[in-house]
Structure 1
Amino acid sequence: MTYLSPLGYLLGLEGAALLRGFREGSADRAFVEARTAEIRRLLDTPGLADAEGVTAEPGTISTADVYQDWAPHYDTLGNTMIDIEQPIVQRILDGLPVGAALDAACGTGRHTAYLHRLGHRVTGCDASPDMLARARERLPDVDLREADLRQLPLPDDAVDTVVCALALAHVPDLTAVLAEFARVLRPGGHLVISDAHVMVSYLRPTLPRRPGPDGRPTLLTEYHRPLSAYLAAALPLGFQVRHCEEPRRPRHSLDPGAAPDPLPTHMSWDLQHWCPEASAAALDESPVVVIWHFQLEDCKSEDSRSEEE
């Protein structure tokens, strides 16, 4: 069970701001004294210390349940992670040969649509029928299939490019999924992955969702990984790294002089307005996503070069 309290989250932001300031050399005396004073103010704020937190049980809501709720609004929700990730993924795709492509965990089809515009013969797959329904509305002429990442509905050596965006944090076994990508890719094919950065899980923790079967709030189980985990899964399968990027959250514009939101009664990322300077110091320019470009080694080409030598 995890207990999430508004006061605890705010104190965590203050602590993260201090630790980051110490590490990066930006925590001068005025900054440290401001954080200390703000911590005292938060502790003394009437009602905040007594604001009821939420006890949530991890793992009692599924990814399918979450995306069922998200699907009707997914394309209209503001999502900083997508805003940061999408241009970089598209820039990588712009440099790849046009051919057969798979958008694995395609969601509502944002990368599927881009691949299609580039001229690829695209297949999209997703485990959420609700997200796929939105993709079919957007792309009625594209082959879209309901499928799990661990069992892709394609034969061996079927595609030249695989894209998998912001989905692997929902997968417990990374190696099994990357092995499926290697299976459907042709030798020399390209794999472009984006995923939530492990730092996000510390600075913006998963929030509780609707009550689970027992009536209690629940937390979606997510798997946030260090960068070494992707390499440990990919390299033994014959993938070679072509590019890796860790784009950062831009500086945001919370006004230190603005009145905070009403006294919080539940966990919300909007709590950052209660300590805007600490929030900026803790969160600004921190990694948001990791983006990998792998290429599957071409054994035939290697054999040909060996014979020529």
Structure 2
Amino acid sequence: MARLRDIVPVVHEHPLAYVIGLQGIALLQGFIGEHDREFIEARLAEVRELLADERLARPVDVTRVSTVDGYRTWSATYDDPANAAFAIDVPVVKRIVDELPAGTALDAACGTGRYAELLVERGHRVIGVDSSPEMLELARKRLPGSEFREGTLHHLPVDEVDLVVCGLALTHNPDLTPIFAEFARVLRPGGHLVIADIHPDGVLRGSIPTVRGPNGEPHRLVTYRHSMGDYVRAALAAGLTVRHCEEPQPEAPPPGSKATDVGPWDVWPWSLAALVPEAAHAAVEGQLVVWHFQRDSLRTM
């Protein structure tokens, strides 16, 4: 479970601290033999250069905001092709869903209906639920033939579905246990649950959505870092069995792709990682995690 004492309302985001942190992860891997001497010496040389880079000495204080407030702003650009996570999670989710029979499916925390559209294309009757009215409005325009309802992951206004999918939402919640219990409640015996979420290592590396406040102030959606074990324990407690787990990662950057621009805060930490691409790639143990669970066919809720 996330250490709640570490979730502070205002975060001091220091760009130098970030890039040095990536170098540190890479160097720790080198210390246990995952990289050779040339790699380690290159990282140390980069550290010396980074310490002298005045552009990295301009920190930003960032306020955490709720998902309702954050997605109200983000909804206008959420489906932008630049949202890199979409290129990673969808292929894995498709492979899992393609093996399941069509039925009644719930897209929990449906957002603009990305997964709902995928499910409709595969013959499912889809119900989408989200806490953001702005996201639901976009989902209804996207799929006028499907049903979308306002609700939360803790209180889903749905009963008896064959499949639940949930994308990039659980990290915004401090405790997974009641959410998995709610998923199990709405699933028919033998039903399936497919979850894509930010990998705990991805959260550690700052893969947290950025939004601007009404006066341009920097905000990030409140996000918690759950261990892989947190997901498994919550699922088992709800009577769900792990069927599959995958940790898709982005491809390695091409040689010579080192960026020279720190970038505006809105594209941190991704622009910062691009300053040290070899260290950043070495530090990527997982960008997303995709889980497939199944409810016990004998259990009654």
TM-score bracket, shorter-length normalisation? 0.7 to 0.9
In 1, the alpha carbon distance for the partners of 2:67 and 2:91 equals 26
- 2:17 is matched with 8
- 2:161 is matched with 159
1:291 maps onto 2:300 in alignment: no
Question: Structure 1 residues 205 and 19 mapped into 2: Cα distance closer, same or farther (>3 Å)?
Answer: farther
Taking only the aligned residue pairs, the percentage that are identical comes to: 46
Asked whether the 8 Å contact 1:56–1:208 carries over to 2, the reply is no
Asked whether the 8 Å contact 1:48–1:264 carries over to 2, the reply is no
- 2:47 is matched with 39
Shift of residue 97 of structure 1?
1.4
Question: Structure 1 residues 39 and 96 mapped into 2: Cα distance closer, same or farther (>3 Å)?
Answer: same
In 2, the alpha carbon distance for the partners of 1:259 and 1:185 equals 47
Give a deviation string over 1:246-289, Cα, whole Å, max 9, x none: 12222123625x6611x657454212333233233333xx3111
Shift of residue 217 of structure 1?
4.4
Give a deviation string over 1:102-125, Cα, whole Å, max 9, x none: 111111111111111111111111
1:71 maps onto 2:78 in alignment: no
In 2, the alpha carbon distance for the partners of 1:265 and 1:85 equals 26
In the alignment of these two chains, the number of paired residues is 289
In 1, the alpha carbon distance for the partners of 2:260 and 2:283 equals 18
Asked whether the 8 Å contact 1:154–1:184 carries over to 2, the reply is yes
1:185 maps onto 2:191 in alignment: no
Instruction: Give the alignment of 1:232-251 within 5 angstroms.
Output: 232-251=233-252
In 2, the alpha carbon distance for the partners of 1:118 and 1:201 equals 31
Equivalent residue letter for 2:177: T
TM-score normalized by the length of structure 2: 0.87
In 1, the alpha carbon distance for the partners of 2:214 and 2:151 equals 25
RMSD: 2.4
- 1:146 is matched with 150
- 1:305 is matched with none
Instruction: Give the alignment of 1:1-309 within 5 angstroms.
Output: 1-26=10-35, 28-45=36-53, 47-48=54-55, 51-57=57-63, 59=64, 61-155=65-159, 158-204=160-206, 206=208, 209-210=211-212, 217-253=218-254, 255-256=256-257, 260-261=260-261, 266=265, 267-283=268-284, 286-299=285-298
Question: Structure 1 residues 70 and 265 mapped into 2: Cα distance closer, same or farther (>3 Å)?
Answer: closer
Q: Which moved more, 1:270-279 or 1:139-148?
A: 270-279
Structure 2, unmatched stretches of 5+, are 1-9
In 2, the alpha carbon distance for the partners of 1:239 and 1:210 equals 38
Structure holding more helix per residue: 1
Shift of residue 208 of structure 1?
6.2
In 2, the alpha carbon distance for the partners of 1:79 and 1:139 equals 21
TM-score normalized by the length of structure 1: 0.85
Equivalent residue letter for 1:222: T
In 2, the alpha carbon distance for the partners of 1:6 and 1:224 equals 20
Asked whether the 8 Å contact 1:68–1:130 carries over to 2, the reply is yes
